[in-house]
Amino acid sequence: MYSTEKYPSQILQEAVEAIGSLPGVGSRSALRLALHLLGQPAENIHHFTAAINRLADDVHYCRTCQMIADSDTCSICADRTRDTRTICVVESVRDVMSIEATGQYRGVYHILGGIISPIDGIGPSDLHIKELVERIRGMQAEDIEIILALSGDVEGETTSLYIYRQIEGLGVKVSTLARGLGFGDDLEYADALTLGRSIVARQPFRP
Amino acid sequence: MYSTEKYPSQILQEAVEAIGSLPGVGSRSALRLALHLLGQPAENIHHFTAAINRLADDVHYCRTCQMIADSDTCSICADRTRDTRTICVVESVRDVMSIEATGQYRGVYHILGGIISPIDGIGPSDLHIKELVERIRGMQAEDIEIILALSGDVEGETTSLYIYRQIEGLGVKVSTLARGLGFGDDLEYADALTLGRSIVARQPFRP
């Protein structure tokens, strides 16, 4: 007899722990998923893990905007119908996907890869802020608009202000998302209508 | 612009599809988990997939009872305090773990590896039924009890009956799980079949 905390096999236990380390997956779900995988043919399991390993090994990032891509240029930057003089600055790949899903935005993006967060040890130099400044410097400043589309929490505001200070002398227009979103809301959880309205009704950035 | 069904990367899409193929994981959860993994260091992803690959490559099954194990004998069969003359026949590893978690059983197990299901093309020869018969034949028949602990549905009943026919001549006692209302169940919410069986198979009242 063993308790509910113990497993009949070290290998099963390690698989349950690995699956249970995913966000939002509890130990009961992890066990259920591990036993499901255990019941699969080996080739199905290998197919599953190979698809996930490619996330680590084969994913490219767009050299312009840092979006996930299958080559050096993402599908958005490669799209000639997009307005390359409007650059929406976001934290993550997920945020780009959320904004794209609204169908309301025709500009391009710049992904920071995170947000300034002293408590997590993430400073400006850990983010793609320098690349943003260089990207703007490499363009004619006229008619460029930078949309700061970061979360409405303290880290997001701090990061927006930091970026504003870096680019305010470059002669570009700087805006931010309309606060139709509640303060503290994550882009990830916003409904498409609200998020779409927010990006259309974006406001001048007032530091 | 791409719709919510499309992904910025084929690799991401394939990872989302692989994760979404797990039971109970919807496409939104799969995307969330894939993006979480994408944000992890490569070594974390490799650690994750290696733990799952070992389910395919390194797991052993007990040669006596077919339980998952790290060697040829599982921890239950290796436990000398267990009653090896009481064999509980179950469908899967999960069932063994559920019964073990009750702490109420001191016998051993025999895992069939499935259940007879013509609709899924699973017949008796696909299950470890022959091994059960041989296991019983290899023991002194006296005082052996076989507990058929299969599901109460048609497939479970069919499988129980099939196994009973195979072993009824071997001089062993054959029992099955008590069926009835769960402890704490309301009569009002019980299904008619369970309630009917419960009243037919009523037990002496022990205050």
CB contact under 8 A, A45 and B53: yes
Q: Which residues of A touch B19 (CB under 8 A)?
A: 52
Do B125 and B184 lie in a common domain? no
Same domain assignment for residues B141 and B168: yes
Mutation for A interface: B48, B64, B104, B111, most A CBs within 10 A: B48
How distant, in Å, are the alpha carbons of A83, A109, A115, A185, B186 from that of A119? Answer: 36, 27, 11, 20, 52
The answer to whether the CB atoms of A37 and B55 lie below 8 A apart is: yes
* Adjacent-strand bridge partners of A13: none
Q: Directed axis angle between helix A27-38 and helix B93-102, to 10°?
A: 140
Structure token digits, residue B46 = 């490799």
Q: Tell me which residues of chain A, numbers 61 to 90, contact chain B at a CB-CB cutoff of 8 Å.
A: 67-70, 74-76
On whether residue A156 sits in a domain, the answer given is yes
Say yes or no: A24 and A115 in one domain: no
Question: Are residues B183 and B170 part of one domain?
Answer: no
Q: Supply the mean pLDDT for chain A.
A: 89
Task: Examine the domain organization and report whether B30 and B97 are in the same domain.
Answer: no
User: Number of structural domains, chain A?
Assistant: 2
Tell me the three state secondary structure of residue A61.
Answer: strand
- Asked, for residue B137, whether it belongs to a domain, the answer is yes
Q: Are residues B121 and B146 in the same domain?
A: yes
In tens, the pLDDT along A107-164 reads 999 999 999 999 999 999 999 999 999 999 999 878 899 999 998 788 999 999 999 9
- Residue A1 forms part of a structural domain: no
Nearby residues of A114 by Cβ (< 8 Å), 6 or more positions away: A91, A92, A122, A126, A127
C-alpha R_g of chain A: 21
DSSP A92-132: -HHHHHHHHHHT---EEEEE-SS--BGGGTB-GGGTTHHHH
The answer to whether residues B124 and B165 touch, using CB atoms and an 8 Å cutoff, is: no
Flag whether residue A57 sits within 8 Å of chain B, measured between CB atoms.
Answer: yes
Q: Inform me whether the pLDDT recorded for A43 exceeds 70.
A: yes
Half-sphere exposure of A32 (CA within 13 A, CB side): 9
* Residues of chain B positioned with their CB less than 8 A from the CB of A18: 47-48, 51-52
pLDDT in tens, A58-78: 999 999 999 999 889 999 999
Contacts with B, A 125-144, CB within 8 Å = none
Specify whether A91 is located in the same domain as A175: yes
Q: Model pTM greater than 0.80?
A: no
Judgement on whether residues A52 and A80 belong to the same structural domain of the protein? no
Report d(CA A89, CA B114) in Å as an integer. Answer: 53
CATH value at residue A35: 1.10.8.420
- Which domain does B163 fall in, by range? 84-176
| B125-184: pLDDT as tens digits | 999 999 999 999 999 878 899 999 998 889 999 999 999 999 999 999 999 888 787 777
**A 18-47 near B (Cβ less than 8 A):** 18-19, 21-25, 29, 31-40, 42, 45-47
* B96 shares its domain with B165: yes
Interatomic CA distance for residues A27 and A5, integer angstroms:
9
Predicted-complex ipTM score = 0.78
User: What six digits make up the tokens of A36?
Assistant: 């499901």
* Residue B150 within a domain: yes
Nearest CA in chain A to B38: A55
**In this structure, is residue A49 part of a structural domain?**
yes
CATH number for the domain harbouring residue A183: 3.40.1360.10
A31 and A120, same structural domain? no
Neighbours of A194 (CB within 10 A): 14
pLDDT of residue A5: 45
Nearest to A51 among B3, B15, B103 (CB): B15
Confidence of residue A4 (pLDDT cuts 50, 70, 90): very low
What residue ranges of chain B have pLDDT lower than 50?
Answer: 1-5
Q: Does B9 touch chain A (CB under 8 A)?
A: yes
Q: Average pLDDT, whole number, for chain B?
A: 89
Judgement on whether residues A133 and A168 belong to the same structural domain of the protein: yes
C-alpha count within 13 angstroms, C-beta hemisphere, residue B73? 6
